[in-house]
Structure 1
Amino acid sequence: MTIRKSIIMLGIVLAGMGAYAKSSVVQIKGSDTILNASQAIVEEYMKTNKKARIAVTGGGSGVGIASLINKTADIAMASRNIKSSEVEALKKEGINVEEVVLGYDGITVIINHGNHIKNLDKKTLAGIFAGEITNWKELGGDDAKIVVLSRDSSSGTHAYFKEEILRGGDSKSVVEYGQDTLYMPSNQAILQEVAKSKYAIGYIGMGYMNDTVDSLAVDGVKPTFETVADKTYPIAREVFWYVDSARDGVTKEVVDFAVSDKGQEIVKEEGFVPAH
């Protein structure tokens, strides 16, 4: 985490401690994919709502939704759809959850600058991440073992990539990630590992993409703002905030701000396609 982000989070948690010392902190937890975007939204909201108290933390989509269920979060950030079992668990806690589309993300498959592969189709990606294709020479590259990096199981991106790529959208499939897959705790960790490892491959949210790595075309389509917006990029998906439909106070206000024109402009600035 950068010094700037650390300062932001400290300011968010501590702001308004005087007059609002007895009030609760609004907790936003979950997806690391949209963590930075959510922090930026909250930072901007705080500029005109200085007495509000909001904490934004990651941990993965599963962590966020679980926190919403056990009432240690007011808003869950998620990069996957909520499961029916999670909706039922929320209902048992008296929460009628509302799905708020924050924006759209293109899951970006990344490789090292030293790797000259430019395009892979979804079937080949499935073979790589399932551990069936293990050497770059099978794909026209160097004779070297493919180092496969994935997000860990608490990540919504991990779940989405498995369902859409490894299992090809087949709800009956039981294909899992290969046994040699290295599981990483964050988008940033995958980015850094691919940047230093010539034969690594991984995936990140498009908001994390930078010039330290190369992105692959998937089925001949590169992940760009335009291809995610028009749905031609094959691994594009919605990203969400999940929140009680009966919300009020600061929780309601920050959700309203997130989907406002200003909030959606921040989503765009953070590298995602806005919801409207």
Structure 2
Amino acid sequence: MKKVLLMSFIMFLIVSVFVLPVQARTAFEIRGSDTQVNLTANLAEVFMEMNKDAVISVTGGGSGTGIAAIINNQVSLANSSREISAAELAQAQERGVEPVRIVIALDGLSVIVNEDNPLEELTVDQIGAIFRGEITNWAELGGNDQEISLYGRQSNSGTYVFFREYVVKADYSEDKMRMNGNAQIVEGVLNDKSAIGYVGVGYTAEDGKVRDGLKIVKVAKDADSPYVTPLDPTNVADGSYPVARPLHHYSNGLPEGMVREYIEFVLSEEGQQVAVDSGFYPITEEYREINRKNLAW
């Protein structure tokens, strides 16, 4: 009997030490944009190091997946590399969900080719014509006599939607390969000398240098504008790089509790430095004002 009581006491101690602290911790999930997965994982990691009682799960699946999850009230935050659409907003409101837009970083969406491609620069119109399937050989642009291979995202991707609306401005060519994520596009371009693709700027570099085998194309708004690189933060911040975009979290109503603390960290100087260290750029005063308004801070 004493042995049974002793074992019960030991089990109580084990439960008290190991289980109860876990139960007392605050867990929440962030789901969505593939472009933002690494960025958000880095932000979550630093925040959890600062807040030992926080447990944050970060998963991808695309911006559409994240927005659907916040509409269905399945997650605390959605990652999205595009703004929520009017139809999605209406659907959310029908379900009693009030999506709140929070801009967390800026991305210079990068057009990439294999380093063996001699082309250095393209206009937005030329890139759009390529992805519409109107320009099919690099020789038409002064490059090698090679049929162009198109690498892009699947339709649930916010990057897919953003690039279609702001660059392609029509339907994509049926010849475009639809990849699951940015990393797959990069690998495809690295292994295909005739390839062109588009990825978040944070996926183009390693240790601050453009990945070996990859070339980032300089882009101009039109033939009369300067060709600029997304690797310069100033070009993204002042809008001279024409394919820049904000990256978002969406919450259901105003964030509260640990989620609010996490958002405060993300928008702090330290959180914005994590964005820079992850290969992206800090938000400008324009987006800070949008956040202050949306968060009622």
TM-score, normalised relative to structure 2: 0.82
Say whether residues 1:215 and 2:216 are aligned partners: yes
Question: What is the CA-CA distance between 1:165 and the residue it aligns to?
Answer: 0.7
Q: Corresponding residue for 2:252?
A: 244
Which residue number corresponds to residue 178 of structure 1? 173
For residues 134-158 of structure 1, the C-alpha deviation after alignment (integer angstroms, 9 at most, x for no partner) is 1111111111110001111111011
The partner residue of 1:94 within 96, 102, 127 is 96
Residues 105 and 283, structure 2, Cα contact 8 Å, conserved in 1? yes
Aligned to 2:201: 206
In 1, the alpha carbon distance for the partners of 2:124 and 2:19 equals: 50
**233, 240, 250: which is aligned to 1:225?**
233
Moved more, 88-97 or 212-221: 88-97
CA drift at 1:244: 2.0
Shift of 1:22: 7.5
Q: Secondary structure at the match of 1:274?
A: coil
Structure with greater helix percent: 2
Q: Displacement, 1:21?
A: 3.0
Decide whether the 8 Å contact of 2:32 with 2:80 is kept in 1.
yes
| Counterpart amino acid of residue 185 in structure 2 | I
User: Cα deviation per residue 1:106-125 (whole Å; 9 max; x = unaligned)?
Assistant: 11000001101011111111
**What is aligned with 2:192?**
197
Instruction: Name the % identity.
Output: 37
Cα 1:151–1:18 change in 2 (3 A) is: farther
Give the partner amino acid of 1:57. T
Tell me the residue number matched to 1:50.
52
Is structure 2 residue 230 aligned with structure 1 residue 235? no
CA distance in 1, matches of 2:128, 2:20: 54
Q: What SS does structure 2 have at the residue aligned with 1:161?
A: helix
- What CA distance in whole angstroms lies between the structure 2 residues aligned with 1:22 and 1:62? 32
**Alignment partners' CA distance in 1, 2:160 and 2:173:** 13
Shift of 1:19: 2.2
Of structures 1 and 2, the larger Rg is shown by: 2
Q: Is the 8 A contact 2:109 2:244 kept in 1?
A: yes
Partner Cα distance (1:160, 1:217) in 2: 19
Give the length in aligned residue pairs: 254
Displacement of 1:73: 1.3
| Root-mean-square deviation over aligned CA pairs | 1.5
SS of residue in 2 equivalent to 1:25: strand
The corresponding residue for 2:111 is: 109
**1:152-191 deviations in Å (ceiling 9; x for gaps):** 1111011000000111xxxxxxx20001110111111001
| Bigger mean CA deviation after superposition, 185-194 or 205-214 | 205-214
Alignment partner, residue 148 of structure 1 = 150
Cα-to-partner distance string for 1:37-86 (whole Å, 9 max, x where unaligned): 11111100101211222100011100000011112211001100111121
CA apart distance, 1:267: 0.9
1:95 offset after TM fit, Å?
2.2
SS at 2:22's partner residue? coil
The residue that corresponds to 1:11 in the other structure is none
Tell me how far 1:25 sits from its aligned partner: 3.2
- Provide closer, same or farther for how the CA distance between residues 30 and 21 of structure 1 changes in structure 2, counting only shifts above 3 A: same
1:172 — aligned with what? Answer: none
Instruction: State the one-letter code of the partner of 2:259.
Output: T
| Deviation, structure 1 residue 18 | 4.3
Structure 2 match to 1:68: 70
CA distance in 2 between partners of 1:18 and 1:235 (Å)? 49
Structure 1, unaligned stretches of length 5 or more?
1-15, 168-174
